Amino acid sequence: MDKFRTYDLILKKRNGSALSKDELEYLVEGYVQGAIPDYQVSALAMAVYFRGMSEEEALFLTEAMINSGETISLKAIPGIKVDKHSTGGVGDTTTLVLAPLVAAAGIPVVKLSGRGLGHTGGTLDKLESIPGFQTDLSVEELIRAVKQVGVAVAGQTKSLVPADKMFYALRDVTATVDSIPLIAASIMSKKLAAGADSLVLDVKCGSGAFLKKYEQAYNLACLMSGIGNGAGRDTVALITNMEQPLGRAVGNALEVEEAILTLRGEGPADLEELCLVLGGWMLCLAGKTSDPEAGKALLEKLLANGTALKKFQQLIENQYGDSTVTEDISLLPRAEKKVPVQAVKGGYVNRLEAGLVGMAANALGAGRETKDSKIEPAVGITVEKKIGDRVGSGDALAVMHVKSKTSAEHIYLAKKKILSAYGIEDKPCMKPRLVLGLVDRKGRQV
Ligand code: URA
Ligand code: CA
């Protein structure tokens, strides 16, 4: 006889009570083993969507999900291992910069990344636009690579958190993806299973993010930080602005180029700033510096003296890529044509909706519609004007990087999206704040 009846647990959640650790373990195990059918888990997910979960409940769910598969031990690598996770945005190039930057400070960085469905590829797709770069490492190879050069970026192994793969696919078709506790458990189970001691979470907020409103992003940040710290991993969550794309480049090879420029100290100010802030926290959690500001100051030096760029070269070489791309950007895949999108009137940019720019990049082939579709590494968009910038009528707002085979219809569609992403007013407009809030073990700052 089973310990519980699934029906009773659905009813309990539907009526607003919290499920216990044992009950959540029963549900997750039963689902993964095929003993509990999809329709019951769908009903449960919907009940969670409406009733929410306490922090403790979300932690129990996360732990039950972790127990559905293997976990990675990073004990063979000396030192405190800090991981970083972003909830995803448009042109979010941070991992490409942060991984070598933080490793340059002597902190081991083990990055498991996804490909993801989205406007552009994920971090793995971006790195694979570097000729020869391999992301398909076993756990042993990953650990060896980190011991050799202090940093490695690889794909998630299939054996981590199988419950999440099943559960996410179900949520996707039952309108229960955007439930804060389910998102938190999904992300945190994968992060905790990957073995880092401490975590810095970048919770994106705005039109280009999964969560559009500050309050939702703040709640997710609180819950993920609570789960991480509750699981004994020092966790900090920053809530950052994704109203407009980060940096200028949106597209796979274009973002690699942007990362190289940033590591040379020639990158866009917002991308550099976000990398320094997140990296400062990573150094602080790793015990390298006593506070995040000191971490940031150290990273500024490592950018300026070329150490961070050198670390990126080592990372590329160690994963069989051609590291001369860092000196000669023309070795990256390039689109044949550049098509500017011009402002129809002059003024100041007061809106640049990241979500629409992402859709435009996707229309050009930068992203993936389904798991099996191919991305086009060279295509994408560079935004020339951002919120607060002055524009003259006819100035290029953005440039589309297109292949000669890209159809006129797709180019037209992308151009329309870009034009609709921009708002231009006569009045000057401030540049938006980048870091909107912070949640750590000790408390919450809005
Ligand atoms: N990303 C995840 O990994 N899981 C979610 O549920 C949402 C975003
Ligand atoms: Ca970018």
pLDDT in tens, 212-249: 999 999 999 999 999 999 999 999 999 999 999 999 99
Confirm or reject: Cβ of 161 under 6 Å from ligand 1.
Answer: no
* 431 CA to centre of ligand 2 in angstroms: 17
pLDDT at residue number 9? 98
Secondary structure in 3-state letters for the chain: CCCCCHHHHHHHHHCCCCCCHHHHHHHHHHHHCCCCCHHHHHHHHHHHHHHCCCHHHHHHHHHHHHCCCECCCCCCCCCCCEEEEECCCCCCCHHHHHHHHHHHCCCCEEEEECCCCECCCCHHHHHCCCCCCCCCCCHHHHHHHHHHHCEEEEECCCCECHHHHHHHHHHHCCCCCCCHHHHHHHHHHHHHHCCCCEEEEEEEECCCCCECCHHHHHHHHHHHHHHHHHCCCEEEEEEEECCCCCCCEECHHHHHHHHHHHHCCCCCHHHHHHHHHHHHHHHHHCCCCCCHHHHHHHHHHHHHCCHHHHHHHHHHHHCCCCHHHHCCHHHCCCCCEEEEEECCCCEEEEEECHHHHHHHHHHCCCCECCCCCCCCCCCEEEECCCCCCEECCCCEEEEEEECCCCCHHHHHHHHHHHHHHEEEECCCCCCCCCEEEEEECCEEEC
pLDDT at residue number 400? 98
* 255 CA to centre of ligand 2 in angstroms: 6
Within the chain, all domains assigned CATH 3.40.1030.10 are found at: 82-328
Task: Give dist(CA 414, CA 380) in Å, integer.
Answer: 10
Q: Residue 444 pLDDT > 80, yes or no?
A: no
pLDDT at residue number 442? 77
pTM for this entry: 0.95
pLDDT tens digits, one per residue of 161-220: 999 999 999 999 999 999 999 999 999 999 999 999 999 999 999 999 989 999 999 999
Residues in a beta bridge with 239: 203, 437
By most ligand atoms within 8 Å of CB, the mutation choice from 164, 166, 176 for ligand 1 is: 164
Within the chain, all domains assigned CATH 1.20.970.10 are found at: 6-66
Task: Give dist(CA 19, CA 324) in Å, integer.
Answer: 55
Residue with tokens 């180029």: 257
Catalytic residue, candidates 83, 125, 164, 202: 164
Which tokens is 167 given?
Answer: 């559960």
Please state whether 347 falls in left (phi above 0), alpha (psi between -120 and 50) or beta.
left
Rounded average pLDDT over 410-427: 98
Residues in a beta bridge with 399: 340, 382
CATH H-level, domain 6-66: superfamily: Transferase, Pyrimidine Nucleoside Phosphorylase; Chain C (1.20.970.10)
Q: Is the dihedral angle over the CA atoms 296, 88, 321, 70 positive or is it negative?
A: positive
Which tokens is 439 given?
Answer: 């949640």
Q: Whose CA is nearest to atom 2 of ligand 1?
A: 187
**353: burial class by Cβ within 10 Å (0-12, 13-18, 19+)?**
buried
Q: Residue 446 pLDDT > 60, yes or no?
A: no
pLDDT tens digits, one per residue of 261-314: 999 999 999 999 999 999 999 999 999 999 999 999 999 999 999 999 999 999
CATH code linked to domain 82-328: 3.40.1030.10
Which tokens is 300 given?
Answer: 């500024």
pLDDT band at 389 (very low <50, low <70, confident <90, very high): very high
Q: Which residues have CB less than 5 Å away from ligand 2 (the ion)?
A: 91, 93, 246-247, 249
The class that CATH gives domain 334-425 is alpha beta
Q: Which amino acid does the sequence have at 230?
A: G
Instruction: Tell me if residue 164 is catalytic.
Output: yes
pLDDT at residue number 293? 97
Instruction: Tell me if residue 290 is catalytic.
Output: no
Confirm or reject: Cβ of 186 under 6 Å from ligand 1.
Answer: yes
Q: Residue 391 pLDDT > 90, yes or no?
A: yes
Within the chain, all domains assigned CATH 3.90.1170.30 are found at: 334-425
Find, among 432, 395, 431, 397, the residue nearest to 414 by Cα: 397
pLDDT at residue number 1? 64
Residues in a beta bridge with 349: 424
Confirm or reject: Cβ of 112 under 6 Å from ligand 1.
Answer: no
Ligand nearest to the CA of 156: 1
